[in-house]
Amino acid sequence: MSKPVILTGLRANNDLTIGNYFGAILPMIEMAERRAGEFQINMFVPDLHSFTTPIDHDRLLEQILQAGRMFVAAGLPLDHDDINLYRQSYVPAHSELTWILDCFTGVGEMGRMIEYKDKSAKLGDDRVSVGLFKYPILMAADILLYGAIYVPVGEDQRQHLEYARDISERMNTHFGELFTVPLPLEKQTEFFGKGQALRIMDLADPSKKMSKSDESGKGVIFLADNPDEAAKKIMSATTDDKASVNYNPIEQPGISNLLQILALLRGHPIDDVEAAYKGQSSYGDFKRMVADEVAGFLTAFQVKLADVDDNAVISAFERSEKIANEQANATLLKVQQAVGLRPRD
């Protein structure tokens, strides 16, 4: 890799939400457009991550293509030499490096991962897979194969990024300079800015983040939602009894969440949006206005999504996968040589 690498991906097996769009997809596309030329931008579909928890495997192929369509509909250019869009499973080095890293990782390390503890507690012992347990190791392979120094992560992934740093430093100490070590969390935040920590909250329960894996979907706006149904979710959003629109996520989380959504839809600072509606007493009128803007956004986005050329997406996948395989295989060979699997030069 001749340029430093920024890497990001979104699992393909869940419908994406407006939180994913404004908190992950759109910022990374804006970053790609702004930084391409200076950085290599790897935006990949982590399809191997998709079945760390139970899914409908009959739908996975279509969902992988849909993830590509989503990036394009959100504005990702497919013709820039420094922007790669690829499918994880089409680069076999991800799986092989994961196995090697497995053998240098302790069971205790993985057992301490908070996301694993949370998800396994929800699933129950009989549904927890080994894949879920060692998911951070696959994520580390995703990063280290390309020497990515910048990786935007949410709160639930920060521990995994720290593991990627730990295992790369451990391997480098043991075998020499195999890997580029991702930058620490404080440098990541400094580079990506506050937008990396954006959290759109659940409409029904604004104490928790809006999640694409939410089973009920009542408090979640999915990008594939019927616009009228999405508007109804906004109208049913939990608020409070203060009868005063204010941005106060602690005391008024529901109303604050709606203000945040409105600010994102309009592309305006939250302070400006709050100033425009501060103190408004009719929550119904405020919700109706937010609901109309959400419906309008979804309508426009879904038109763009329907216009995406599938052949163009597949061609972009294939072009980028050729590049990704060349780069990943070069890193894997260094590791294979270091651990004794291949002759050393």
- pLDDT at 345 (0 to 100): 81
Q: Comparing 12-26, 140-154, 186-200, 257-271, which segment has the lowest mean pLDDT?
A: 186-200
Tell me the C-alpha distance between 268 and 144, whole Å: 36
The pLDDT value recorded for residue 198 is 63
CA–CA gap between residue 141 and residue 162 (Å, rounded): 13
pTM for this predicted structure: 0.88
Output the pLDDT for position 294: 98
Pair 262, 290: CB distance under 8 Å = yes
pLDDT at site 196: 44
What average pLDDT does the segment 300-322 reach? Answer: 97
Contacts of 165 (CB under 8 A, 6+ apart): 181, 182, 184
Catalytic residue among 3, 117, 119, 194: 119
Fold exhibited by the domain 227-305: Tyrosyl-Transfer RNA Synthetase (1.10.240)
Please give the C-alpha separations between residue 80 and each of 84, 289, 316, in angstroms, as whole numbers: 8, 38, 10
d(CA 202, CA 129): 27
Pairing of strands 40-45, 5-9: parallel
- Of 264, 318, 297, 329, the C-alpha closest to 68 is 318
Please, which residues bridge with residue 134 across strands?
none
Q: Which of 3, 212, 304, 322 is catalytic?
A: 212
Say which of 3, 187, 209, 232 is annotated catalytic. 209
In the predicted model, what is the mean pLDDT of residues 142-164?
92
Predicted local distance difference test score (pLDDT) of residue 28: 81
What is the predicted pLDDT for the residue at 110?
94
Active-site residue flag, 304: no
Annotated catalytic residue 322? no
What would the 3-class secondary structure string for 223-247 be? Answer: CCCCHHHHHHHHHCCCCCCCCCCCC
d(CA 132, CA 194): 29
Number of helices (H) and strands (E) in the chain: give both, helices first.
15, 4
Residue 10 has pLDDT above 70, yes or no: yes
Catalytic residue flag (residue 187)? no
Report the amino acid identity of residue 173: T
Across 172-197, b (16+ Cβ under 10 Å) vs e yields eeebeebbbbbbeeeebeeebeebbe
Identify the pLDDT of residue 47: 94
Tokens of 266: 């309009």
Q: What is the pLDDT of residue 187?
A: 93
The answer to which of 9-13, 73-77, 178-182, 225-229 has the lowest mean pLDDT is 9-13
Q: Which residues pair with 265 in a beta bridge?
A: none
pLDDT, tens digit, 9 for 90 and up, residues 182-218 = 999 999 988 887 544 467 999 999 999 888 766 677 8
Query: By percentage, how much of the chain surpasses pLDDT 90?
Result: 75
**Rounded distance, CA 64 to CA 220, Å?**
21
pLDDT bucket at 179, cuts 50 / 70 / 90: very high
> What tokens were used for 141?
């392979």
Query: How many other C-beta atoms lie within 10 A of the C-beta of residue 168?
Result: 20
Class of domain 5-192+309-339: alpha beta
The 8-class DSSP code of residue 83 comes to E
The answer to which of 10-14, 267-271, 287-291, 328-332 has the lowest mean pLDDT is 10-14
Paired strand residues for 8: 43
State both tokens at 32: 């790609």
- Gap between the Cα atoms of 272 and 302, Å rounded: 28
Q: For the chain, what are the domain ranges?
A: 5-192+309-339, 227-305
Which of 46-55, 164-173, 218-227 reaches the highest mean pLDDT?
164-173
Q: Please tell me the distance from the alpha carbon of residue 48 to that of residue 203, in angstroms, as a whole number.
A: 30
Q: What pLDDT score does 1 carry? A: 63
**How do residues 22-81 score in pLDDT, each as one tens digit?**
888 888 888 888 888 899 999 999 999 998 888 889 999 999 999 999 999 999 999 899
C-alpha–C-alpha distance, residues 71 and 12, integer Å = 12
Q: Is the pLDDT of residue 292 over 90?
A: yes
Phi/psi of residue 237, each to 5°? -60, 140
Supply the DSSP symbol for 336: H
Other beta carbons within 10 angstroms of residue 290's beta carbon come to 21
Identify the pLDDT of residue 156.
Answer: 78
Cα angle for residues 88, 93, 97 (degrees, 5° grid): 110
Query: Mean of the per-residue pLDDT values for the chain?
Result: 92
**pLDDT, mean of residues 93-100:** 98
In the chain, % of residues over pLDDT 70: 96
Looking at residue 202, the DSSP 8-state letter turns out to be P
Angle at 69 between CA 66 and CA 75, to 5 degrees: 150
